[in-house]
Structure 1
Amino acid sequence: MMSGFERGFKARANRIALEVRSRMGLSAIDAIDPLAICRDLDVMVIPMSNLGCDVSQFLEVDPGAFSALTVPCGIRTAIVHNDSHHPLRQRSNLCHELAHLFLGHRHVPPLNEAGERAHDRGMEAEANFLGGCLLMTNEAALHVLSNGLISRAQLIYGVSKPMLDYRLRVSGAHVIHKRKYGLG
C-alpha cells in the first residue's frame, strides 16, 4: 500500500526530528518541549485568546474548527494556536506548525478568494507525519516497547493515546520489537 509520501519522506522526517533533538541537546529518545523549540528558533507563539479580537467562535462555540496557523510576522514567524484545546493537543498543534517550517513549506493564506479554507493536502499530510515524529521519534517508539513503558509513554512524551498508538504503529516499532525478541 502506498503511503502517498515521496519515497524516503518518512525516514527524512525522523532524521529531522533527531536533528531538532540534537540541536536542543537531547537524545533520540528524549521528549521535546515544542515551546522551547519555538524559543530557540525565535518563533513567536500566540495563544488565540490573546489576539485582542472576538475569537469566541473558535474558543467556545466550535473549538475544533481551528487548531493552529503559522504566519509570517515581519522578519519573524508566529504560530497562532487554539489555547482552548487540551494541552496534549496544543503540543501536537505546535509540532505540526513547526513541521511546516522544518519542511520549508510556503505560507498559504488560510482562506481563498471565495472565503473557503485553502490548504494543500500533501503539505498537511507531511506536517502531520513530521509533527508526530517530533513528538516521538522512531527510536523513542521502540524504546517504549522494549522497556515496557506503554502505560507511562503518554506522560513521558506528552502525547495523546491516539498519537501514541499511531507513532508505535507507523514507526515500525511493533515489527522491530517482535523481530528483536522473537515474538509472534
Structure 2
Amino acid sequence: MSSFKQWAENKSLELRLQNGLKSYDYISAQQLANYLGVKIFTPNEIPRMSLDVFDSIKNNWSANTLICGDKYYIIHNNTHSPQRQQSNLMHEMAHIILKHSPEQLISANGLLLRHINEQNEKEAEWLGGCLQLPRQLLFELFRRGESVDNIICKYQVSIEMLRYRTNVTGLKNTFKSIKI
C-alpha cells in the first residue's frame, strides 16, 4: 500500500478516536463536519436561488467546498440518496483535510469551465472512502460475520462503496465467503 493510502487509512481511524469513537464505529459526515468546523448546507438554503438554477444543480452536481477566509462550507445535493450524500460529503471533507486548493475556473469564450486537478480528486476519493469504511473497520466487521445489509444500513454506505472498499483493501481475498 502506498504511503498516502496508508496515511489516509490511519487518518480515518485517528479522526474516529478524536471523536471518542472506536476504530469500528460509524462516524457520520455531519459529525465529522462538526468536529472539523465545516458548515454543511443545501441549495434550497441559499436565499433567492431561482428554481431553474436549483433544478440545474440537483440534476448535474453532487457537492462542492466553498472557502471564505479560514472557514469551510460544503454545499451538497440533498436530492441524492442518503448513502450518496454521505459519500459526497466525505469526499468534500477529504479535500478539506488534505488542504486542497479550490478548483480553478477557466474562462473560455465567455463560458466558465471548471479545471479539475486529477491528483487531488484521486486523493479525495481514496480518503473519502477511508473516512466511510476504513480497512480496519471492514476487517473487524467481516471477522465478526456482519452481514452486507447490516453494514450498508449501520454505516450509511451504498453497495457500490462497500464493494469498492472491500476490493481495494484486499479484503475480498481475505474473506472469500463475503458476497457483495
TM-score band by shorter chain is: 0.7 to 0.9
RMSD, aligned CA: 2.1
Q: Quick check: 22-31 or 58-67, which moved more?
A: 58-67
How many angstroms apart in 2 are the aligned matches of 1:38 and 1:118?
26
Deviations 1:71-115 (A, max 9, x none): 112331111111111111111111001101111211224x32221
- Structure 1: which 5+ residue stretches go unaligned? none
Tell me whether 1:83 sits opposite 2:81 in the alignment: no
Compute the displacement of 1:62 (Å): 6.3
How many angstroms apart in 2 are the aligned matches of 1:19 and 1:58?
39
- Number of equivalences: 173
Alignment-derived partner of residue 175 in structure 1: 173
Counterpart residue identity of residue 143, structure 2? S
Compute the displacement of 1:148 (Å): 2.0
| Structure 2 CA distance for partners of 1:141 and 1:40, relative to 1, 3 Å | same
| Pairing of 1:1-184 with structure 2 (within 5 A) | 7-54=2-49, 56=51, 59-60=54-55, 63-109=58-104, 111-114=105-108, 115-149=112-146, 150-177=148-175
**Bigger fraction of residues in strand:** 2
Percent of matched pairs sharing the same residue = 32
How many angstroms apart in 2 are the aligned matches of 1:41 and 1:27?
18
- Structure 2: which 5+ residue stretches go unaligned? none
Q: Quick check: 57-66 or 79-88, which moved more?
A: 57-66
| Structure 2 CA distance for partners of 1:69 and 1:14, relative to 1, 3 Å | same
SS at match of 1:128: helix
Provide TM-score, normalisation by structure 2: 0.87
| Structure 2 CA distance for partners of 1:57 and 1:129, relative to 1, 3 Å | farther
Contact 2:103 2:114 in 1 (8 A): no
| Structure 2 CA distance for partners of 1:59 and 1:172, relative to 1, 3 Å | farther
Provide TM-score, normalisation by structure 1: 0.85
Contact 2:43 2:49 in 1 (8 A): no
Compute the displacement of 1:147 (Å): 2.0
How many angstroms apart in 1 are the aligned matches of 2:156 and 2:48?
30
Contact 1:145 1:174 in 2 (8 A): no
